[in-house]
Chain A
Amino acid sequence: MSHPAPSREPERLKDPVDKAAAGLIPVVREGFRAAWPICLGYFPIGLAFGVLAQKAGIGPLGVGLMSFLVFAGSAQFIAVSMLAQTAALTSIVLTTFLVNLRHLLMSSALSVYLRHSSWRFLCLFSHGITDESFAVNMTQFREGNWSRSEALTVNLVSHAAWVGSTILGAYGGQFIPAGAFGIDYALPAMFLCLLVFQLRGRLYAVTAVLSGALAVILALLIPGNTHIMLAAILAASLGFALRRSRIGGRKR
């Protein structure tokens, strides 16, 4: 995955230069065009997050600061719900780490297209790697007509949309009664769709169901939120073993 074909190198070096010569405005426009579905998806989720956070006693400033610094929807929802259950600070941070560990793989996959980028660019760009921006940028990079400036625009635009909508939710939260507009279902619905994005074959579906079943059993046995990480690690390992045993079986 990290070894690019040498023949592709000149193409990639040339690409950003051409885009830069074309001017900043078309680049930003392309970025916006690719980012708007993400913003559309973020808006109700961001609002919902702001509302929930406000109900958990976090003000608009705290919400905005968290969205700006963390920028990870699912982890932020979990953190707020754990906060409402007065979970320990360390267990919230540990859960965040495990929930967001998946970005490790996304970052690795994106690195193939971000060779020869400056240290400053990578520091800025990597903060914006989310499930959604990753999905959009990888698709565009694979199609070959995508520069790092456009990819960065996607990340920055979706980041701004996330921060903005969560702050808005925190302000409007007090005017929205609990459970209104089915807002409590924004997160489960987003997770269902993100799960669908990850289902790229039968093994992935088996792993998901396995992990879900394990999580239900573990959640009944252990209080707290450790069941999520335990189930995910167990199920991924079982899925991995299953994949390896199938490959081995085929060879024999």
Chain B
Amino acid sequence: MITTQYLLMILGMCLVTYIPRCFPVSFLAQRQLPEWLIEWLDLIPVAIFGALIFPDLFLVGEPRHLELLQPKMLVALPTFLFALRTRSLGGTVLIGMFLYWLAGKIL
């Protein structure tokens, strides 16, 4: 069952995702973005991934509180090193899942 609310949500998500994908390639192709904007945008991906990962690894519960040594955090270290060495997306996902499963068995 797809509710109107859900349909509206994914249509909204589609629109706000599609515009940044389509706009530069179709309209800014002949134009130069200001240098400061390029440099700032260049740091956005790394900043977003940092902001996505850290709270997930260090915070638990609702309301959230700090917990430094939890399984998610412990598994992140070897997973990160694996990604750094292999640069393999598929491999990292599989290793991360395996290690997390293993941590669940041991801890």
Q: Indicate if A102 sits at the interface (CB-CB under 8 A).
A: yes
Give B29-52 as 1s and 0s: 1 = Cβ < 8 Å from A's Cβ atoms. Answer: 111110010111111111111111
Closest to B16 in A: A97
Give B72-87 as 1s and 0s: 1 = Cβ < 8 Å from A's Cβ atoms. Answer: 1001100110011001
* Interface SS majority for chain B: helix
CB interface residues, B 9-66, toward A, < 8 Å: 9-14, 16-18, 20-26, 28-33, 36, 38-59, 63-66
Q: In whole angstroms, how far apart are the Cα atoms of A108 and B43 in the complex?
A: 15
Q: Indicate if B89 sits at the interface (CB-CB under 8 A).
A: yes
Q: In whole angstroms, how far apart are the Cα atoms of A213 and B43 in the complex?
A: 16
Interface size on A, residues (CB 8 A): 104
A65 touches B10 (CB 8 A): yes
Q: Which of B31, B45, B104 contacts A182 (CB 8 A)?
A: B104
> What's the count of A-B pairs with C-beta under 8 Å?
303
Q: How far is the CB of B49 from chain A (nearest CB, A)?
A: 4
A216 touches B98 (CB 8 A): no
Q: Indicate if A107 sits at the interface (CB-CB under 8 A).
A: yes
- Residues of A contacting B44 in the complex (Cβ-Cβ under 8 angstroms): 101-102, 105, 232, 236
Q: In whole angstroms, how far apart are the Cα atoms of A6 and B26 in the complex?
A: 20
Q: In whole angstroms, how far apart are the Cα atoms of A198 and B83 in the complex?
A: 12
- Residues of B contacting A223 in the complex (Cβ-Cβ under 8 angstroms): 63
B50 touches A212 (CB 8 A): yes
Q: How far is the CB of B106 from chain A (nearest CB, A)?
A: 12
Q: A122-B25, A191-B49, A239-B47 are in contact. Are A62 and B16 (CB under 8 A)?
A: no
Q: How far is the CB of A118 from chain B (nearest CB, A)?
A: 10
- Residues of B contacting A239 in the complex (Cβ-Cβ under 8 angstroms): 43, 46-47
- Residues of A contacting B102 in the complex (Cβ-Cβ under 8 angstroms): 182
Q: Indicate if A132 sits at the interface (CB-CB under 8 A).
A: yes
Q: A37-B90, A195-B53 are in contact. Are A104 and B24 (CB under 8 A)?
A: yes
Closest to B20 in A: A104
Q: A44-B94, A92-B13 are in contact. Are A208 and B47 (CB under 8 A)?
A: yes
Q: In whole angstroms, how far apart are the Cα atoms of A183 and B26 in the complex?
A: 38
Q: In whole angstroms, how far apart are the Cα atoms of A182 and B57 in the complex?
A: 15
Q: In whole angstroms, how far apart are the Cα atoms of A153 and B39 in the complex?
A: 30
Q: Indicate if A166 sits at the interface (CB-CB under 8 A).
A: no
Q: Indicate if A89 sits at the interface (CB-CB under 8 A).
A: yes
Name, among A132, A182, A215, A227, the residue most crowded by chain B CB atoms within 10 Å (CB to CB): A182
Q: In whole angstroms, how far apart are the Cα atoms of A38 and B91 in the complex?
A: 11
New contact pairs (6) apart from A76-B13, A102-B45, CB-CB < 8 Å: A72-B17, A83-B9, A115-B29, A193-B89, A207-B47, A231-B47
> What are 16 A-B pairs with beta-carbon distances under 8 A?
A79-B13, A92-B12, A96-B13, A108-B28, A114-B25, A114-B29, A122-B26, A179-B104, A186-B93, A188-B56, A193-B89, A193-B92, A195-B83, A211-B50, A212-B53, A228-B52
Residues of A at under 8 Å CB distance from B?
A: 1-3, 37-38, 40-41, 43-45, 58-59, 61-62, 65-66, 69-72, 74-76, 79, 83, 89, 92-94, 96-108, 110-112, 114-115, 119, 122-123, 125-127, 129, 131-132, 179, 181-186, 188-199, 203-205, 207-216, 219-220, 223, 227-229, 231-233, 235-237, 239-240, 243-244
